Structure 1
Amino acid sequence: MMATGNLWRRGLFSAASLMIMAASGALATAGTAQAADSEIVVARAMDLNSLDPARAYCDTCQIYLSAVYDTLLTLAPDNKTIVPDLATSWEVSPDVTTFTFHLNPAATFSDGTPVTATDVQWSMERLKNIKGGAAYLMDSLKSIDIKDPHTLVVTTKTPNSEFLGILSATYVGIINSKLAMAHGANDDDNASTTDTADTWFLSHSAGSGAFTLQSYKADDALRLKRNAGYWGKKAQVSGVIIKQTADAVTQAQMLQSGAADIAMQIDPDTAKTIHDPNIVFQTVPSYNYVYAAFSPIAKGSPVPLTHDVREAIALAIDYKGAIDFTVGGAGNLQPSAIPNGFPGTADLPAPVTDVAKAKALLAKAGYPNGFKIGLEFPAMDVYGIDISLLAQKLQQDLAKINVSLTLKPETFNVWVGDIDKPGVPFTIGFFAPDYFGSAQYAQYFGMMAGMPWGTRAGVGTTPGLDGAAELVAFNKALAAGPSAQEAAYQAIGLQMIADKIILPIVSPDLVLAYAKDIGGMRYSACCNLPLAEIVKH
């Protein structure tokens, strides 16, 4: 039942009407109806780049896609265990290259049509061929053989011990292929240039999830409504509004006023200033982090970003101070681009600060008096971190070694385009897991040919970055059992540290902030915030 304090906070009832309703027993009825039929409002800085599962790649994308598009498999609340979603069962060959899935025959898309093996095949091949940010998840895909409408066999090019985890990623959401193809989508080899459905997906959805898309207005709001015909357990609220809210302070104000039920990016310092019995703050560890990164081949750097220069900058950063400055100490040092708690991260050496050594390395590189360089970053709050504040902290730190940073804040969409075209010499980025497994970090951040940050860093052309050691360890990990995986990913983590391309700075604890009448709040390593589990009492 909704607390009367919350009804008052929202201005839904006057004091007089509350007394009358309480006397007549109507308050209980109103509370029950409100819980079943009300929308919830989520305040967050939206970083949406697309609503198309094959093109979307962002944190808000994870929340949207997991609500609207079911996946073959998903993650249990422990954030590690793979459990059924569209697939009720599966078998894996001993050599970890053949995966057989059996679909739930009751599963239907929101328009009532059955989810079939053909839709699964089409969705996975389209993700691969669109070549968007999450296409790397299908890098190992070789073939898909449909046995019957509810059975398919997926074969990978090489052993892939993380393939089941990959299928829990929201970007591998299964699309109603016939509906999408009717509006310009295709899974052809040249889909990256011939698929024209991106605009259609901005106002329509084609999933089998607990919600459907109601509307989306950029820089305003993303609205979802409950899928009344959902084949699984129906959502507990009638709809969700994700409201664009740029900063933590405004999100907190919305939560206090009742304009929002959930605020997703409140930092620990802001949380400490709020004393409201109707608001719950829950701090949990997360796998999210914010990092600085170099692209040595990008144009515009005033000096060559050699290993000595990169290491000097890494040594000048005050990592503990950055955690204190951005999240009030509510975070952890992270050694490598593989987040704490993932396979291979035990006992990795923590980053250190050594200004004297940094100056010596700069002198050795030929820059005893330092230099000026730009730092481009998305001007937004993520995981309770104001990236602009973090940029200022880096500016202060690097000034100690006479490296002068020119801060270049951009919108998320401009920044995400710039880091690839034309490339950004020095930047700040952020990453949340797509699923539980370390392969995604080796693929996205590893110095291997064809991988996103390997490409940006110039693997094969930048001295010292040949990718050979990481590739050997990566292939070993994908073919190995759990204990051997741990050793292989640790080797990758150590090489990432040595490469000095990705510099993790803050791994913040996550503050879940929500109204007291909200239940079912949890952090998910695949889905960020599982909207279908949220309850309004």
Structure 2
Amino acid sequence: MKPALNRQLPSWTHLRLAAALCVGVSALAMLPEGASAQDSTLVIARDIDINSLDPSRAWCDTCQIYMSNVYETLIGLDKDNKTLKPRLATKWEANADQSKFTFTLDPGAKFADGTPVEAKDVKWSMERLENIKGGASYMMDSVKSIDAKDAHTVVVTLSGPNSEFLNILTAPYTGVVNSKVASANGAIAAPGADTADKAESWFMQHSAGSGAYELVDYKPGEELRFKANPHYDRTKVGVADIVIKQTKDSVTQAQQLESGNVDVAMQIDPDTAKTIQADTVSVETIPSYNFLYVALSPGAKDGGKLLTKEVREAIGLALDYDGIIDFTVGGAGRKIASPIPNGFPGTDGLTLPQQNLEKAKELMKKAGHAEGFELNDAFPNMNVYGVDMSLLNQKIQQDLAKINIKVKLTPIEFSVWRDRVKSEGIALTTLFFAPDYYGSAQYVQYFGMIEGSPWWNRAGGKRDASFTNPQTETVLTKALSASEAQKDGIYKQLAQQMIDDRIIIPVVSPDLVLAHGKNITGVRYSACCNLMMDEIGRQ
């Protein structure tokens, strides 16, 4: 039953607790009889949002965790979330304008089957990532050629300067795959792989990486299970067996953590965290780079034509950003000005959004919609970063009702949402984003209204190109060749352009709750990789 538009929504905590009563008993029964956090297997509670386990097709937050721990990248991101460190590449060199990079591989690195990691695998993996044309393929857009000079030397030449290319290589989606094993099971790296490659089903139950862990089993909607890679020696793995258990809501994750049925809970919201009383549980709340956003698609078939620039601006002004933060995360979050997270290059000094209903109504009148209209809001029915997306969208529904936009809420499974937004589009939706590496270009390439970008496509650019912003691509090219001293100012221009486009409207950057048993060590937030499982141990 939808809440009345003129009625105060129930308190955030009470809604969550009520939801937990419905699902708590069945969720607690997920673990095998007698299992507890004291068993050798480390248990992580998480709402699993996997779209694929294929390294070139995976594109989700849980995918980040999977890829980071199963497929090693050439370069890693250190604990400060900014500094690059060696991983598969022991060293690297760049030419003067950062358009050519030479990598020297660790001669001792091995895949989980014991075969060595070689330059040919790096070349094959990068080419497949580009040619599969999945969500992360844009990371290879600037690559002109990849040469395996010998078994341990790779030279990557770009089509132009790219000051963020080394940062890109910390992203888990650039992990290196055992090309021989993958090819034997239908994987193709050559052009045309997006239609000819047949390996995805194999990857859903097998892995072919050199990371700290390898895949044991994946049961959609139930669990993702790992075991330590016996040939991994970059760090000493503290736990041999790990399972991520499907656990949808924040309250149930907290209950399981307090009862000892799980060791780590990844999506406890700050408000629920305050209710945890068990002295066996450690809880720490920290700022994050993650955010949730409203996305408007003028080219969507279900009402996109209504979303003119004036209407999009009105929607942005109608949102109660302070109220959203209070309602979704109990105040434990931050406003975010643009689709570049706070703390990344280009975000200092941006004006944070504020609700302005009077101006929003003026814009609606100017657009010929003073009496408003109806709009469908289809969104993934998930809990992400501690935010229940159904509750977030109820708050958005109430806010937009104040400018006479009647929003119909349609919660759907993530897989259904993904297919729909790619095909016919969704006029109004909400989604979430976590960084793939430290650097601002990824946000411009993903959210900017550049022809062919992921959100240009999702917003219906092929059906209605009126919102395309060609200046964004021009300024991005300038940013990628800029000096460190120039970068911040140029990315600030790009951030402002995306604010003005009013296609992506960030609404909350939730603080992150690190919640785990006090006997668990090494749990931290990684800006590229979410959770580094090889750092986790049990006392």
Q: CA–CA distance in 2 between the matches of 1:57 and 1:100?
A: 27
Counterpart position of 2:146: 144
Contact (CA 8 Å) 1:227, 1:234: kept in 2 or not?
A: no
Deviation (angstroms), 1:462? 4.7
Counterpart position of 1:321: 323
Counterpart position of 1:273: 275
Deviation (angstroms), 1:146? 1.5
Deviation (angstroms), 1:463? 7.0
Counterpart position of 2:116: 114
2:157 equivalent to 1:155? yes
Q: Which stretch shifts more, 144-153 or 101-110?
A: 144-153
Q: CA–CA distance in 1 between the matches of 2:354 and 2:465?
A: 24
Counterpart position of 1:419: 421
Counterpart position of 2:243: 241
Counterpart position of 2:511: 509
- Relative distance call for 1:12 and 1:373 in structure 2 (3 A) is closer
Q: CA–CA distance in 2 between the matches of 1:276 and 1:254?
A: 11
Counterpart position of 2:285: 283
Counterpart position of 1:227: 229
Counterpart position of 1:340: 342
Contact (CA 8 Å) 1:45, 1:381: kept in 2 or not?
A: yes
Counterpart position of 1:24: none
Contact (CA 8 Å) 1:448, 1:459: kept in 2 or not?
A: no
- The 5 Å alignment of 1:378-393 reads 378-393=380-395
Deviation (angstroms), 1:465? 2.7
Match of residue 261, structure 2, among 259, 277, 280: 259
2:59 equivalent to 1:65? no
Percent identity over the alignment? Answer: 55
AA of the residue aligned to 2:151: P
Contact (CA 8 Å) 2:298, 2:304: kept in 1 or not?
A: no
Contact (CA 8 Å) 1:316, 1:397: kept in 2 or not?
A: yes
Q: CA–CA distance in 2 between the matches of 1:512 and 1:126?
A: 35
Counterpart position of 1:91: 93
- Max Rg structure: 1
Contact (CA 8 Å) 1:302, 1:371: kept in 2 or not?
A: no
Residue deviations 1:359-414, cap 9 Å, x none?
A: 11111100111111001110110001001000000011111111110001011111
Residue deviations 1:40-83, cap 9 Å, x none?
A: 10000000011111000000001011111110001000000111
Deviation (angstroms), 1:420? 1.2
- The 5 Å alignment of 1:10-21 reads none
**TM-score scaled by length of structure 2:** 0.92
Deviation (angstroms), 1:229? 2.2
- The 5 Å alignment of 1:116-515 reads 116-301=118-303, 303-459=305-461, 462=464, 465-515=467-517
Match of residue 48, structure 2, among 37, 46, 49: 46
- Paired residue secondary structure (1:423): coil
Deviation (angstroms), 1:238? 1.1
- Paired residue secondary structure (1:260): coil
AA of the residue aligned to 1:384: G
Contact (CA 8 Å) 2:264, 2:515: kept in 1 or not?
A: yes
5+ long unaligned stretches in structure 1 = 1-9, 14-30
Deviation (angstroms), 1:468? 2.2
Deviation (angstroms), 1:458? 4.6
AA of the residue aligned to 1:128: E
Q: CA–CA distance in 2 between the matches of 1:399 and 1:225?
A: 50
Counterpart position of 2:10: none
AA of the residue aligned to 1:78: D
AA of the residue aligned to 2:156: V
- Relative distance call for 1:521 and 1:446 in structure 2 (3 A) is same
Q: CA–CA distance in 1 between the matches of 2:492 and 2:334?
A: 19
Contact (CA 8 Å) 2:337, 2:352: kept in 1 or not?
A: yes
2:527 equivalent to 1:525? yes
Q: CA–CA distance in 2 between the matches of 1:302 and 1:123?
A: 38
Deviation (angstroms), 1:302? 6.9
AA of the residue aligned to 1:137: M
Contact (CA 8 Å) 1:228, 1:234: kept in 2 or not?
A: no
